[in-house]
Amino acid sequence: DTGVSQDPRHKITKRGQNVTFRCDPISEHNRLYWYRQTLGQGPEFLTYFQNEAQLEKSRLLSDRFSAERPKGSFSTLEIQRTEQGDSAMYLCASSFGGGYTFGSGTRLTVV
């Protein structure tokens, strides 16, 4: 287990298309988080899971965003009908309480 893996690393999509990202956390970690980071800003909380339960979703997140963690292992983040404002780095992190271990992120560009 080499850490938190995210796929793909980069995604370019046309406005209005749907995209899905995958995150594989560290296997012993029961908590999984999704954050969004834009240039010059800190990571912004989107949602998090404890095992398969989604415990919180940011009020800033529109209904176009959905996340799942069906078996308490990997997670997917889907964005429907993408908009240019969705362009950002999407970071996944996992933990077993305490500090996060981040993945390398998926950079989304909406054109």
Partner 1 sequence: GENVEQHPSTLSVQEGDSAVIKCTYSDSASNYFPWYKQELGKRPQLIIDIRSNVGEKKDQRIAVTLNKTAKHFSLHITETQPEDSAVYFCAASEGYNTDKLIFGTGTRLQVFP
What does the binding site for partner 1 look like in residue numbers (CB under 8 A)? 31, 33, 35, 40-45, 48, 50, 55-56, 91, 95, 97-105
Find the shortest distance in angstroms from Cβ 33 to partner 1. 8
Find the shortest distance in angstroms from Cβ 12 to partner 1. 17
Indicate the DSSP class of residue 85. G
Q: For partner 1, which is the closer residue by CB, 36 or 110?
A: 36
Q: For partner 1, which is the closer residue by CB, 50 or 109?
A: 50
CA gap 92, 14 in Å, rounded: 23
Find the shortest distance in angstroms from Cβ 104 to partner 1. 5
